[in-house]
Amino acid sequence: MPSDTPQPAFVLVRPQMGENIGAAARAMLNFGLDRMRLVAPRDGWPNQSAVAMASGAGRVLDEAVLVERTVEAVADCTYVFATTARQRDLTKPVMTPERAMEVAREKIAAGEKVAVLFGPERAGLENDDIALANAIISVPVNPEFPSLNLAQCVLLTGYEWRRQTVETASEVTEMAGSDWATAIEVDRLAEHYEETLDSAGFFFPETKSDSMRRNLRNLWSRMPLTQADVRMLHGMLRQMVRWKTKG
């Protein structure tokens, strides 16, 4: 059974290759989508090439709805997007995938049913298909090479859907089992290095000693050190002193 998560239906209109259907299913499941609808796939259905390419996303194919006409695929929907890179002689809003999935999220949250149409690999959606849509999704691709593979277009749209519906930090730091060093731990590290460098005659001439120490402290404070980093830097300095003493 498809998941209960509110989401748009992805409609593959007259897809030609089973491999692309399978790759599209895999792309959908990557981003938590599992409602696929198929309009008259060229090589029939079910398709073993699709199953092989889905690689773990077979349940999306198992639950895919098969119909003969595009209008049947969107019959229960209140808002439909059509993906196309070509200019059409049809007056419709044209949105980026990001904006389209923002609109989709708003409409689905309000209880509406939304579908996204993806055209066949060779030439994309026909005007009769696009006439059924409320808006167009256009990916900002290189105008000299605008053609996207079917699964690539599904992947892009699915990614934007995921961004709209799942809170994801734009950047995180993996701490690898350690915590950030505290100010006192960094201060002790700085003192350890200052004492050792002072013994080695590093702070010379005397007139520049204060500024050199201050710059060294500033260097440590600019570093995002973990407790493990601090322990390693203490150990490095101790080992270098031992090695010098042995010499």
pLDDT digits (tens, 9 = 90+) for 185-196: 999 999 999 999
**Whether the Cβ atoms of residue 7 and residue 35 lie closer than 8 Å to each other:** yes
Q: Where are the domains of the chain?
A: 9-165, 183-246
Q: Has residue 246 got a pLDDT over 90?
A: no
pLDDT at 219: 95
| Mean pLDDT across the chain | 93
Q: Has residue 53 got a pLDDT over 70?
A: yes
> What angle in degrees, to the nearest 10, is found between the helix axes of 209-222 and 183-199?
140
Per residue in 34-71, is it b (16+ CB within 10 Å) or e — as a string? bbbbbbbbeeeeebeebbebbeebbebbeebeebeebe
pLDDT at 168: 82
Arithmetic mean of pLDDT, 81-90:
84
First to last CA, the chain: 73
pLDDT at 230: 96
pLDDT tens digits along 201-233: 999 999 999 999 999 999 999 999 999 999 999
Secondary structure (DSSP) of 118-158: E--TTT---HHHHTT-SEEE-----TTS----HHHHHHHHH
Query: Of 17, 30, 18, 20, nearest to 56 (Cα)?
Result: 30
Quote the radius of gyration of the chain (alpha carbons, Å): 29
Q: Has residue 98 got a pLDDT over 70?
A: yes
From CA 76, how far away is CA 97, in angstroms rounded? 22
Q: Classify strands 9-13 and 36-39 as parallel, antiparallel or unpaired.
A: parallel
- Confidence band (pLDDT; 50, 70, 90) for 78? very high
Q: Has residue 1 got a pLDDT over 80?
A: no
Q: What is 9-165's CATH number, 3.40.50.1860, 3.40.50.150, 3.30.420.40, 3.40.1280.10?
A: 3.40.1280.10
Arithmetic mean of pLDDT, 87-113:
93
From CA 136, how far away is CA 92, in angstroms rounded? 7
In the 8-state DSSP scheme, what is residue 32? Answer: T
Q: Has residue 243 got a pLDDT over 80?
A: yes
Q: Has residue 247 got a pLDDT over 70?
A: no
Q: Has residue 68 got a pLDDT over 70?
A: yes
Q: Has residue 73 got a pLDDT over 80?
A: yes
Residue found under tokens 């460098």: 197
pLDDT at 2: 74
Q: Has residue 56 got a pLDDT over 80?
A: yes
pLDDT at 101: 97
Arithmetic mean of pLDDT, 29-57:
96
From CA 203, how far away is CA 197, in angstroms rounded? 7
> What proportion of the chain, given as a percentage, has pLDDT over 90?
81
